[in-house]
């Protein structure tokens, strides 16, 4: 696996400052607009109090916090900090032990800078991205009667092109498309991938193999230790490098990108004590954790699949869990769209 260093930008560390009484939503805006991957938490006098990074936010949201939760409830009060005249070699060694990328430089309770190691990104490397592109696209009918779901346009750009271009931004250039329904149309459109400045190979099912069965056809085709796996109808602003780093740092067999999703019951809910009504909630909302359809999978797990056998992803995941494989969740808060539904497709079209 080959890497290149992304040069560290000069950080205006004050742009990373957030106050204790601000919210998680404010922290997310700070993360998006600053060059750092952490927020520096300060009090009203700008005295250093702690840090808040995207991992802290993920854990907080999974525990039931929301975007309006105060930063004072979720920030890290005991982070790694550096003194003004720190030793860079020792700091980087400590970063590796603590599995962090950066730390604030603090002098007399004041933040005077941020030190971060150069981030690594994939470049022209062999690690493949497998995109499941063989589905019938039933939820998008009648459009998918004539064309496969992967080629359904979003303002004249096929959804699969949007997915590939989005992932390519993180340096991935080696793609494998699994196909079945109207596979010739997909192959004729993308060919070897030159159209998108990537390399594309194909795996074609001779019969429908479910949402995971086509992975069995990849056995011995992938030589890298891990690969990225996603559905062709999933578009997200997730940081794919963070996902890959999380998978590697946790030595996982399978990492599932998960997202908190608010669901609303269309009916009023009644709570009973025996036959007596104790409470009535009109169309209650609940937060659930959903599978986003984005994964990092250790290649050796493909051995758990029976060759050319029909199996769905949920069944495959449960099989890995029963076989004592390490299956973990990567919570993310970035935008996510299920383009396999007309409603989400319309939302993305209006925002693209």
CATH value at residue 335: 3.90.550.10
- Whether residue 157 sits in one domain with residue 83: no
**What integer pLDDT is reported at residue 300 of this predicted model?**
94
Which of 97, 120, 143 is the last residue in one of the domains? 120
Rounded to two decimals, what is the model's pTM?
Answer: 0.73
DSSP 76: B
Residue 221 has φ and ψ, to the nearest 5°, of -90, -25
Q: What does the block give as tokens for 67?
A: 């975007």
Question: 34 or 53: which carries more pLDDT confidence?
Answer: 53
Instruction: Assess whether pLDDT exceeds 60 at residue 121.
Output: no
* pLDDT tens-digit readout, 186-228: 999 999 998 899 999 999 999 999 999 999 999 788 989 999 9
- Whether residue 95 sits in one domain with residue 241: no
**What integer pLDDT is reported at residue 320 of this predicted model?**
96
* pLDDT tens-digit readout, 123-172: 446 789 999 999 888 888 888 899 999 999 888 889 999 999 999 988 89
- Whether residue 88 sits in one domain with residue 72: yes
**What integer pLDDT is reported at residue 33 of this predicted model?**
64
63/20 Cα distance (integer angstroms): 19
Which of 79, 97, 120 is the last residue in one of the domains? 120
First vs last Cα of the chain: how many Å apart? 33
Which of 93, 120, 147 is the last residue in one of the domains? 120
Name the average pLDDT for the chain.
Answer: 85
Calculate Rg over the CA atoms of the chain: 23
SS3 of the chain: helix, strand, coil, percent, to 5: 30, 30, 35
Specify the number of domains making up the chain.
2
39/17 Cα distance (integer angstroms): 6
Average pLDDT, integer, range 173-198: 93
- Whether residue 207 sits in one domain with residue 164: yes
- Whether residue 81 sits in one domain with residue 169: no
Average pLDDT, integer, range 173-197: 93
- Whether residue 136 sits in one domain with residue 116: no
Question: What range does the domain containing 74 cover?
Answer: 3-120
**What integer pLDDT is reported at residue 1 of this predicted model?**
38
* pLDDT tens-digit readout, 54-69: 888 888 887 888 888 9
21-to-18, 71, 73, 109 alpha-carbon distances in Å: 9, 6, 9, 19
Instruction: Assess whether pLDDT exceeds 50 at residue 25.
Output: yes
- Whether residue 218 sits in one domain with residue 88: no
- Whether residue 217 sits in one domain with residue 256: yes
**What integer pLDDT is reported at residue 49 of this predicted model?**
93
Instruction: Assess whether pLDDT exceeds 80 at residue 2.
Output: no
Tell me, what CATH number does 52's domain have? 3.10.580.10
**What integer pLDDT is reported at residue 118 of this predicted model?**
65
- Whether residue 94 sits in one domain with residue 198: no
Three-state secondary structure call for residue 189:
helix
């Amino acid at each position: 696996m080959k890497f290149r260093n992304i040069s560290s930008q000069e950080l205006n560390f004050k742009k990373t400052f957030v106050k204790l009484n601000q919210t998680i939503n404010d922290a997310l805006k700070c993360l998006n607009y600053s060059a750092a991957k952490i927020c520096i938490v300060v009090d009203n006098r700008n005295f250093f109090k702690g840090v808040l990074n995207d991992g802290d936010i993920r854990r907080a949201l999974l525990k039931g916090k929301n975007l309006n939760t105060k930063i004072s409830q979720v920030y890290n009060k005991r982070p790694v900090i550096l003194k003004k005249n720190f030793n860079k070699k020792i700091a980087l060694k400590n970063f590796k032990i603590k599995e962090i990328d950066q730390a604030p430089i603090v002098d007399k309770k004041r933040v005077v800078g941020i030190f971060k190691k150069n981030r690594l990104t994939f470049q022209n490397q062999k690690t493949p991205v497998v995109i499941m592109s063989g589905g019938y696209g039933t939820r998008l009918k009648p459009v998918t009667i004539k064309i496969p779901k992967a080629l359904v346009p979003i303002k004249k750009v096929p959804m699969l092109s949007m997915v590939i271009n989005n992932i390519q931004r993180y340096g991935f250039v080696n793609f494998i498309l699994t196909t079945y329904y109207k596979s010739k149309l997909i192959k004729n459109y993308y060919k070897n991938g030159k159209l998108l400045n990537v390399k594309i190979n194909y795996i074609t099912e001779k019969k429908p193999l479910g949402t995971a069965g086509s992975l069995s056809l990849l056995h011995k085709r992938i030589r890298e230790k891990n690969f990225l796996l996603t559905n062709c109808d999933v578009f997200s602003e997730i940081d794919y490098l963070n996902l890959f780093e999380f998978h590697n740092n946790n030595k996982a067999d399978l990492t599932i990108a998960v997202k908190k999703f608010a669901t609303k019951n269309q009916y009023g809910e009644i709570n009973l004590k025996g036959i007596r009504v104790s409470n009535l909630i009109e169309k209650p909302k609940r937060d659930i954790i959903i599978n986003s359809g984005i994964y990092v999978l250790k290649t050796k797990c493909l051995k758990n699949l029976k060759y050319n056998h029909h199996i769905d992803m949920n069944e495959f995941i449960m099989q890995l869990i029963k076989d004592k494989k390490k299956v973990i969740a990567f919570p993310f808060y970035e935008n996510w769209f299920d383009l396999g539904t007309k409603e989400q497709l319309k939302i993305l079209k209006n925002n693209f």
